[in-house]
Amino acid sequence: MVDRLAAFERADAERAILALLAQRDAGRTICPSEAARALGGDDGFRPLMGIVRDAARALVADGAIEVTQGGRPVDLDAARGPIRLRSVQPD
């Protein structure tokens, strides 16, 4: 039997992050676990958190999103504790 979670790739997580953010008002955030749950469901999301973080890192590098803590942008790799993801608003 093929592990269905192994079938998910970073691109799937990127699409999930962007789709969830598109449903939010400008400036609003999502929790990375929301993207993982969108892919793996409530019972299967935890193993996908690494993929979602990798996807967030790639989207930050592309300038599409930013990672926040306490409403302020932070470096994903330096952040400790809960983070949120927010679309970057065009100037």
Say how far apart CA 21 and CA 25 lie, in whole Å: 8
Tell me what pLDDT residue 59 has.
97
Tell me what pLDDT residue 4 has.
55
Q: What residues are paired with 72 via a beta bridge?
A: 69
29 near 84, Cβ under 8 Å?
yes
CATH entry 3.40.50.970 includes domain 4-87: no
- The pTM assigned to this predicted structure is 0.90
- Return mean pLDDT, the chain: 91
Q: Is 50 helix (H, G, I), strand (E, B) or coil?
A: helix
Q: Is the pLDDT of residue 3 over 70?
A: no
Q: pLDDT tens for residues 48-82?
A: 999 999 999 999 999 999 999 999 999 999 999 99
